[in-house]
Structure 1
Amino acid sequence: MRGADLLARATAELVAAGVPDGGRDARRLLAHVLKVPPGRLTLFLPEPVAPELTVIYNALVARRAERVPVSHLTGRRLFYGREFLVTPEVLDPRPETETLIEAALAEPFGSVLDLGTGSGCILLTLLAEREAAIGVGTDLSEAALNVAFWNRNALKLEPRAALETGSWYEPLAGMNEQFDLIVSNPPYIALDEMPGLAPEVRDHEPRMALTDEGDGLSCYRTIVAGHAPWLAPGGRLMVEIGPSQGAAVSELMTRAGLRDVRVISDLDGRDRVVSATAPAESGQ
């Protein structure tokens, strides 16, 4: 069967299954199976597809129709121009998180701490963009850190990125170090919001990376409350948030004595990041 015929059939199957933008996903999966760049897939559509590849493609399409995320089927996700390994053990990197990257890169930093690093996409992207910087990523999930280790090594960032197992700041105990930048994309989905998530997220991504099983703000409370020993004077604390959490997280930071608190919107105009700065000198 020609690639064009396979693509048409797969698109119809995904649309019938209610997959958002099924045609796009059908193309991405076919490009993956054929091992061609997605942007050049059209050149290969008139050609026949080998029977064994047809079987693989049909199986992937069937799983996508069951709402398994494309990144879990291909094992890869593009984030800020780099390809990252993605598994069901980590949060799928999202385009909205690039708002945090852009905001972090807007000012210089020499060291960064990424709390709840997951796949490592935030920490590793920041280090890849700042060739002299060093950083630490922490995560409670050893399975997630295994993915981060793979991504770190693939990007050849072993000398500059340390990855530590534990909850938030706990792995830093005993370290005599402060960071110019602390970043995090913590679990911020409230428990009562979980049923309304898309099946790709609710049923296939790690629950501990999605929700705090409460009001969606408990992780911010922990991050803000524990920042002082680790954030250098004049350093920045930046967290990704849900669209309705800007005011609440800003208040947490203000009460903690942080300055220049501001909410940054993503490309869709939704509140996406809260940024704040530590006083320039201790006690100010």
Structure 2
Amino acid sequence: MKQKTLTLKQLYKVGTVKLAEEGIEEFSLDAWYLLEYVTGVSKAMYFAEPERAVSEENADRYIDCIRRRAAHIPLQHITGEQEFMGYPFCVNEHVLIPRQDTEILVEEAIQVMRPKMKVLDMCTGSGCIVLSILKMCREKYYMTDLQGIGADVSEEALKVARENGRRLGVPVTWIQSDLFAKIPEEEKYDVIVSNPPYIETAVIDTLQEEVRLHDPYIALDGKEDGLYFYRRIISEAGKYLKTQGKLMFEIGCDQAEAVEELMKNAGYEQITVKKDLAGLDRVVYGTLQ
């Protein structure tokens, strides 16, 4: 017997009910995003024609997407994309999904960029930080002569970063490296930015299922106290920064004091802490003397 054709409204209801049953926090919003992703229907079109029939093929695709989201697979892993700084970035299980909190780091970095500067993004992942810095500096401030380098230990992550660079039309040099291991010492940078793994190992098992099961573990694990990578980067970065160069980090909301102390002990001055939109400490940066 042929399956009854479903309308947009009916299909959306199926999605919201299923996601709500499985405890998805933003079940209504996620069900909508997946409907838009599968059918290409905007909200204006939906409200104009909620009774529009959906093809059997698209209905099946939508139900499959809902099934995957109900299993707590991140929405972005289903659609393959996440917006960051207004740009679309492709993502998958090999990279941390770009988050709005990280935009604070990009915004602060843009403020210190000047023509002909060279920026290194350590633990680059999807490349969203360095690519957004270069893209926005080009579009807003006409700085077309900046150089960007993105380094990550994961070759799979760098594949994603390369694709994002291609899609955004931003040239960046990508280097597979365990932190500074393969970064030539003769290279000197004006700015080093980093969103390193900073979650305490013992805390990872308490995170949302979407994060602990689907974000790459190596992008989360900051070892016992969450500060392992800050220590390593701060201890080595001085060899790669120009005098008066900036070292800029995203941090966990309770790590500002510890990271600030590490930077002071390593000779950084003018150390600044910036808060995110929720009023939590999110970025720490300082100047190498």
* TM-score bracket for this pair, using the shorter chain length: over 0.9
**Is 1:167 the equivalent of 2:183?**
no
Q: Secondary structure at the match of 1:89?
A: coil
**Is 1:148 the equivalent of 2:153?**
no
Q: Deviations over 1:130-163 (max 9, x none)?
A: 22211100000000000001001111123xx100
1:226 and 1:69 map into 2 onto residues whose CA distance is 35
Q: Is contact 1:31–1:41 with CA below 8 Å preserved after alignment?
A: no
Aligned to 1:210: 220
Q: Secondary structure at the match of 1:232?
A: strand
- The letter for the 2-side match of 1:235 is G
**Is 1:121 the equivalent of 2:131?**
no
1:1-284 aligned at under 5 Å gives the runs 1-37=6-42, 41-43=46-48, 45-109=50-114, 110-131=117-138, 132=144, 133-158=146-171, 161-173=172-184, 176-279=186-289
- The letter for the 2-side match of 1:265 is K
In structure 2, relative to structure 1, the CA distance for the partners of 1:139 and 1:39 (3 Å cut) is: farther
Please report how far the alpha carbon of residue 43 of structure 1 lies from its aligned counterpart in structure 2 after TM superposition: 4.2
Please report how far the alpha carbon of residue 214 of structure 1 lies from its aligned counterpart in structure 2 after TM superposition: 2.0
Structure 1: gaps (5+ residues): 280-284
Q: Is contact 2:8–2:46 with CA below 8 Å preserved after alignment?
A: no
Q: Is contact 1:123–1:135 with CA below 8 Å preserved after alignment?
A: yes
- The letter for the 1-side match of 2:106 is I
In structure 2, relative to structure 1, the CA distance for the partners of 1:262 and 1:7 (3 Å cut) is: same
Please report how far the alpha carbon of residue 35 of structure 1 lies from its aligned counterpart in structure 2 after TM superposition: 2.5
Please report how far the alpha carbon of residue 103 of structure 1 lies from its aligned counterpart in structure 2 after TM superposition: 1.0
Moved more, 93-102 or 128-137: 128-137
Please report how far the alpha carbon of residue 46 of structure 1 lies from its aligned counterpart in structure 2 after TM superposition: 3.0
Please report how far the alpha carbon of residue 205 of structure 1 lies from its aligned counterpart in structure 2 after TM superposition: 0.7
In structure 2, relative to structure 1, the CA distance for the partners of 1:225 and 1:67 (3 Å cut) is: same
Q: Is contact 1:188–1:219 with CA below 8 Å preserved after alignment?
A: yes
Aligned to 2:141: none
Query: In percent, how many aligned pairs have the same letter?
Result: 37
Q: Secondary structure at the match of 2:237?
A: coil
Aligned to 1:282: none
Please report how far the alpha carbon of residue 48 of structure 1 lies from its aligned counterpart in structure 2 after TM superposition: 1.1
In structure 2, relative to structure 1, the CA distance for the partners of 1:229 and 1:75 (3 Å cut) is: same
Q: Is contact 1:138–1:166 with CA below 8 Å preserved after alignment?
A: yes
TM-score (norm 2): 0.92
Q: Is contact 1:91–1:205 with CA below 8 Å preserved after alignment?
A: yes
**CA RMSD after TM alignment:** 1.4
1:221 and 1:38 map into 2 onto residues whose CA distance is 47
- The letter for the 2-side match of 1:254 is K
Task: Tell me the matched-pair count.
Answer: 276
Please report how far the alpha carbon of residue 238 of structure 1 lies from its aligned counterpart in structure 2 after TM superposition: 0.6
Please report how far the alpha carbon of residue 5 of structure 1 lies from its aligned counterpart in structure 2 after TM superposition: 1.1
Please report how far the alpha carbon of residue 44 of structure 1 lies from its aligned counterpart in structure 2 after TM superposition: 5.2
- What stretches of structure 1 move > 6 A for 4+ residues in a row? none
TM-score (norm 1): 0.94
Please report how far the alpha carbon of residue 107 of structure 1 lies from its aligned counterpart in structure 2 after TM superposition: 2.2
In structure 2, relative to structure 1, the CA distance for the partners of 1:225 and 1:190 (3 Å cut) is: same
1:117 and 1:243 map into 2 onto residues whose CA distance is 20
2:213 and 2:167 map into 1 onto residues whose CA distance is 28
2:263 and 2:67 map into 1 onto residues whose CA distance is 46
